[in-house]
Amino acid sequence: MLHTARGRLLLVSSSRIWYHTIDLPDGTTTPGWFDTRAAPQHVVWPEGLRGGRCLDVGTFDGFWAFEMEKRGAAEVIALDLDDPVRLDWSYDERPRGPDRVREWSVERGPGFAAAAAAIGSGAQRVNRSVYDLDPENDGLFDVVLCGALLLHLRDPVGALERMRSVCRGELLLIESLDPVLDTVARTVPAARFAPEWDQWWRVNGAGLRRMTEVAGFEVTWTGKRFLVPFGAGAGGGLKFGRIHSIAALRLGGQGQLHQALRARPRPPQARPG
């Protein structure tokens, strides 16, 4: 809920669960499950961002959309789904997953609207699935950014192909990695099939790169691995998960292992013979 105090819009309600940690103009901070505020420093940003038309895929509370605005994007479209029924649920989660989203107040949309109003953002949020991206309807973008969405998708390669269809400049991925696979199979493209709640695939760095290439991109830059810390809204069990403790030991902290990469669309490659 937003209240007006001395002419300013203040975000004062913490009854909903926030995904992103966002600093607001009144000095308060949203209590996100994850604190991505330091993540932008691990990204080498595309030149096309400044003055460009940009797309944030899977925006949730809008952290990356607002970040692109701060870095000079002329237009930012923020894509996500309002209806939890349309998320990629597994067979067993499909009957109960959407009700849990509503019960736990983790709907997509309200957080973005509240934060955008508080910071005066001009980003336009669009209620649409990544699978429905279409250049005829959505146009083309100089930068397509996707942050930690692919692990939540049944078909991450198909989603990357749809991003390619609207990308005239560069793709920027900031994605969660599986620390076990990234340790024991560092150079082999690999994914762990781990359907749980609303998650499907966990990849290593080589797997993330290969998925991007298979979807029709040429990878032009990959960053170093880094941790995204858990935020004030995360529960204790989440903060000290068994899998991500491996990343904590490797990088000296608590959080989820991430990597950023940039890529450009490429034409289909002809196979010899």
Of 37, 76, 75, 79, nearest to 58 by C-alpha is 79
What was the pLDDT predicted at 21?
Answer: 97
What was the pLDDT predicted at 167?
Answer: 98
Of 92, 69, 78, nearest to 147 by C-alpha is 78
What was the pLDDT predicted at 273?
Answer: 56
What was the pLDDT predicted at 106?
Answer: 83
Q: Provide the terminal-to-terminal Cα distance of the chain, rounded to the nearest Å.
A: 62
pLDDT in tens, the chain (273 residues): 333 333 333 343 446 789 999 999 999 999 999 999 999 999 999 999 999 999 999 999 999 999 999 999 999 999 999 999 999 999 999 999 999 888 888 888 999 999 999 999 999 999 999 999 999 999 999 999 999 999 999 999 999 999 999 999 999 999 999 999 999 999 999 999 987 777 899 999 999 999 999 999 999 999 999 999 999 988 644 444 444 445 554 555 678 999 999 999 999 886 665
What whole-number distance in Å separates Cα of residue 158 and Cα of residue 130? 9
What was the pLDDT predicted at 116?
Answer: 98
Q: Do 145 and 54 touch, CB atoms closer than 8 A?
A: yes
Domains of the chain (ranges, CATH numbers): 2-265 (3.40.50.150)
Would you list the DSSP string of the chain? -EEEETTEEEE----SPEEE--B-TTS-B--EEE--TTGGGG----GGGTTSEEEEET-TT-HHHHHHHHTT-SEEEEEE-S-GGGS---TTTTTTHHHHHHHTT--SSHHHHHHHHHHT--PEEEE--GGG--HHHH--EEEEEEES-GGG-S-HHHHHHHHHHTEEEEEEEEEE--HHHHHHSTTS--EEEEEETTEEEEE-HHHHHHHHHHTTEEEEEE---EEE-B-TT--HHHHT-HHHHHHHHHHTSSSEEEEEEEEEE-PPPPPP-
What whole-number distance in Å separates Cα of residue 196 and Cα of residue 242? 15
